[in-house]
């Protein structure tokens, strides 16, 4: 991978360009979304991140688009630092709650840390102009198009895929529906809305309200749509990583931390956030650590918004009311009755234990080797799955 340390970052360039352009008086200072959309329009470049000794160095890079495929082949196949970072930064574990599996940090990290930078393990092309039934058939066809060992690897990775057989030319209606539901549940829509991307680690992240989420997501505009998960709060080793889904699906889920059904935290959580902020301030730590400023979260999340806003059915509203009541009372109980607390909390009022920073990883973490799924074996011409799928749909896309 070419060293690009000295070159200015794409975003800096964009900011520079925006600053140089004469701006009409009525136009406000460009916000984060403007900068991102400018960046996305910079067709010939891509941002690359590199990690050295477990620390993220946002590597400013301006890479010609032609060389991106080459670099990614290198990353997919070799002992990439990027993969190492993902592997060591977070692990999938059973939350032992109704949330099922979740993603947990393996070390103590501060806000703004880029936790994951991951390529999709699988991406389904989602034609926009077809109805749900046809989309299900389309996804079924794409699944049947995969090689058996790719299907097997995915089935092993995601327990919810175990009812979907491998090596078949077609699926039964039940299997097809299971596959479709899996795709809807685990995928992040690409920024252009054309692909539903499923990631080994990022697709395991559970939902929290905006105030309680400790990370935000962003996705590369270009294929293969690498997802970037950045922390907005300090996390402790063993703490669950949570993002605000900001989708219709997310609006039906209770926040994993405070139980709020809206995108705002409960008052109790707000109070805890405030107390935590002051605790850190008094301790001379970075004050912005505790509470993500809503503005930041909104900026990043809105960029990823899949739907304009939640529109709940009567049944969903009734469920929401029921959950709200149950979860609110749950706060009165201890950890056993209150399964959304973080592992370090024995009660909702307890502050996280302090650990010195920078964190030096413990020997167990360094020596643990969590296999990373590589569904697409690297070849000289890129991934066979993607190539085959592209050929299949060539000429059919509008």
**Residues binding ligand SAM (CB under 6 A):** 98-102, 185-186, 203-204, 206-207, 249, 253-256
Q: For residues 143 and 186, which CB has a smaller minimum distance to ligand SAM in the complex?
A: 186
**Torsion from C-alpha of 24, 28, 30, 34, nearest 10 degrees:** -90
Of 8, 86, 83, 81, nearest to 51 by C-alpha is 81
Residue nearest ligand SAM by beta-carbon distance: 100
Smallest gap from residue 372 Cβ to ligand SAM (A): 16
Query: Is omega for the bond preceding 224 within 30 degrees of 0, making it cis?
Result: yes
Q: For residues 141 and 248, which CB has a smaller minimum distance to ligand SAM in the complex?
A: 248
For the record, the structure tokens of 244 come out as: 């605000």
Is residue 192 within 8 A of residue 221, CB to CB? The reply is yes
Smallest gap from residue 160 Cβ to ligand SAM (A): 7
Q: For residues 236 and 244, which CB has a smaller minimum distance to ligand SAM in the complex?
A: 244
Residues in the chain: 398
Angle between helices 32-41 and 294-303 (to 10 degrees): 30
Smallest gap from residue 197 Cβ to ligand SAM (A): 12
Of 278, 237, 290, 300, nearest to 109 by C-alpha is 237
Of 97, 35, 16, 47, nearest to 336 by C-alpha is 97
Planar angle of CA 253, 255, 256, nearest 5 degrees: 110
Of 232, 211, 354, nearest to 284 by C-alpha is 354
The dihedral sign for the CA sequence 225, 228, 229, 233: negative
Smallest gap from residue 352 Cβ to ligand SAM (A): 20
For the record, the structure tokens of 87 come out as: 């592997």
Q: For residues 89 and 184, which CB has a smaller minimum distance to ligand SAM in the complex?
A: 184
Q: For residues 39 and 301, which CB has a smaller minimum distance to ligand SAM in the complex?
A: 301
Smallest gap from residue 219 Cβ to ligand SAM (A): 14
Q: For residues 48 and 199, which CB has a smaller minimum distance to ligand SAM in the complex?
A: 199
Smallest gap from residue 99 Cβ to ligand SAM (A): 4
Looking up tokens 């669950």 gives 240
Is residue 115 within 8 A of residue 229, CB to CB? The reply is yes
Smallest gap from residue 97 Cβ to ligand SAM (A): 7
d(CA 306, CA 196): 11
Q: How far apart are the first and last CA of the chain?
A: 35
Q: For residues 51 and 235, which CB has a smaller minimum distance to ligand SAM in the complex?
A: 235
Q: For residues 109 and 253, which CB has a smaller minimum distance to ligand SAM in the complex?
A: 253
Smallest gap from residue 320 Cβ to ligand SAM (A): 12
Q: For residues 254 and 291, which CB has a smaller minimum distance to ligand SAM in the complex?
A: 254
For the record, the structure tokens of 56 come out as: 């993220």
Smallest gap from residue 74 Cβ to ligand SAM (A): 29
Is residue 5 within 8 A of residue 59, CB to CB? The reply is yes
The dihedral sign for the CA sequence 273, 279, 280, 282: positive
């Amino acid at each position: 991978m070419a060293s690009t340390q000295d070159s200015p970052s794409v975003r800096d360039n964009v900011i520079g360009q925006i600053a140089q352009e004469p701006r009409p008086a009525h136009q406000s200072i460009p916000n984060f979304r403007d900068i991102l959309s400018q960046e996305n329009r910079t067709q010939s470049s891509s941002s690359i991140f590199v990690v050295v000794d477990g620390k993220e160095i946002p590597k400013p890079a301006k890479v010609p688009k032609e060389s991106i495929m080459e670099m990614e082949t290198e990353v997919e196949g070799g002992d990439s630092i990027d993969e190492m970072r993902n592997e060591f930064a977070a692990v999938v574990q059973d939350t032992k709650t109704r949330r099922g599996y979740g993603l947990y940090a393996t070390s103590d990290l501060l806000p703004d840390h880029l936790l994951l930078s991951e390529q999709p393990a699988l991406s389904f092309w989602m034609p926009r102009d077809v109805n749900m039934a046809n989309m299900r058939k389309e996804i079924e066809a794409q699944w049947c198009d995969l090689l058996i060992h790719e299907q097997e690897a995915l089935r092993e990775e995601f327990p919810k895929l175990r009812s979907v057989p491998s090596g078949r030319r077609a699926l039964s209606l039940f299997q097809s529906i299971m596959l479709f539901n899996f795709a809807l549940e685990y995928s992040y829509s690409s920024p252009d809305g054309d692909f539903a991307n499923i990631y080994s680690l990022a697709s395991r992240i559970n939902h929290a309200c905006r105030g309680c989420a400790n990370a935000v997501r962003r996705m590369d505009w270009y294929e293969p749509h690498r997802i970037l998960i950045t922390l907005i709060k300090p996390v402790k080793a063993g703490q669950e990583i949570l993002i605000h889904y900001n989708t219709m699906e997310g609006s039906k889920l209770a926040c994993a931390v405070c139980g709020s059904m809206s995108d705002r935290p409960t008052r109790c959580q707000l109070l805890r956030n405030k107390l935590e902020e002051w605790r850190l301030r008094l301790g001379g730590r970075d004050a912005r650590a505790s509470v993500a400023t809503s503005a930041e979260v909104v900026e990043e999340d809105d960029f990823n918004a899949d739907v304009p806003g939640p529109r709940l059915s009567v049944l969903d509203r009734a469920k929401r009311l029921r959950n709200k009541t149950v979860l609110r009372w749950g706060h009165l109980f201890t950890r056993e009755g209150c399964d959304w607390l973080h592992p370090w909390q024995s009660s909702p009022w307890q502050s996280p234990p302090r650990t010195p920073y920078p964190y030096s990883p413990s020997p167990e973490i360094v020596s643990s080797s969590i296999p990373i799924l590589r569904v697409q074996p690297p070849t000289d011409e890129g991934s066979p799955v993607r190539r085959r799928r592209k050929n299949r749909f060539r000429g059919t896309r509008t």
